Structure 1
Amino acid sequence: MSLEQYLGDQGNSIDIGLVLLSQDWQVLGMNEHALRIAEPGMAPVGQNLFQMHPARSREKVRGILDALSGLQGAKPRSMVIDFLGKVLMITLSRLFVPGSPMAWAVSFMDLSEQTGARTNPTSGHLELKKMPIYENGAFHFLSADQVHLIEADGNYCRIHTPQKKFYLLMSLKAVLQRFPTPDFLRVHKSFVVNLRHVKAIGPAGDSRMVVSFSEPSIPAVPVSRRLVPAVKKALCSGGTVHPFD
């Protein structure tokens, strides 16, 4: 779904938030929708942007802004994040206003409805039914069944589907928290597999155990030694996976 299609589907209901920032990330101004998204009593104007986030997530926010602002040129860059219990697609653009402290504009759209977002009252985690990915001017909302393999890649995850690979700004631990489906199983510090699409588990040439997939385009991945018994048990319980020694 392209950005134009998304906006068209939303009709007049879509609201776009706007936050103006200084070079050192001070909030200089916000439009009404951005103020509504902010928590009551936050009074964000005049604050450093990082103070709007819980202390535990400030480094993550700093990393996001560093990644967005560190790109060459003035081309806007977008990504999807969760903020205050909502799923937001944010775009950071550099501003050039002579004589003004304004240096950045952050715009965002709320994708909570499209992702089926809800906060788990027990864990407090924001859980999603679909993975929101914005890439090359298009939205992709991936259901768990579309995902075959999730691979850690620095601050991102690489999402493997039969059609293509996508990047999601989320750790493997966060993926399992955000998408609490029994089909996702962590088999290695760097890999989460979808049990529905695993074909077999067995030894590789170097004596490691690997899982392979029914879809040939999805690469086989190693299983951590300590996780082999649990992985075999989980895979065999479905009745469609064939372990071999």
Structure 2
Amino acid sequence: MKKVTPEQSIRVPVKLVDGEWEFAYGGKVPVGNGTEGELIVPAKAIVDPKFLERMKTKASIRILEEGAELLAYVVTKDDKGISEKSKVHLIPWNAMRDSIATEFIDNWSAGQPSFVKVAIGNPTDRHKAKFETQSGGLWLLIEGRESAGLQSSQISLPDGITDEAAISLNHAFTLLSEVFEPWRKAHTGNVYQRYLYKEKNDRWYPLELLRNGAIAGQEQAIAYSLWQDFLAKIAANKNI
């Protein structure tokens, strides 16, 4: 199901009457055939225990392996507050212009974007236990039959940036922002837009494509294959 933003949707209260969903205040819901939506009901209202268990099941799919490179984009504005040692790790926009899929990035910040290359690192003991692995990676988290986000093992930052281990995508971005965006009051960001991964066509796309299959097309081979395999398993009612 293609996701829509809150601005593109409307909340419609419904109730089940003789096996059919109706508008809560009477009458059928006037929507077109083939309309998709999301039904939110109390868990206790589900009368099939197996269905309830299936919808509450949590799983994960490894998308990228340990060592895979990512680009983090930062907005430097100027070089004030950035050490010479750190500047050498900045990749200018002009050097990446032709390989960045800018059409998939919605929230470029004001100012001149630059990039810092990072890599997916090794797992902590918590990662090893959660994902039952001895190697790092990037995982798509599944809850029920929907994406619940992405989670990585540790992130390897360029030498000299910090002595602190980056234990997640969010943590790594905070460390990078503190170094390369000293002008910001808050060093947080949307990691699904702030990190780019390299597709098989050698273009860099935001991680949002790996989290949300609705926006991935055949030209994004890694993301497209991931979601086609996932949907096929769901259609076959198989465990992920």
Q: TM-score, normalization: structure 1?
A: 0.23
Indicate the structure with greater strand content.
1
Q: TM-score, normalization: structure 2?
A: 0.23
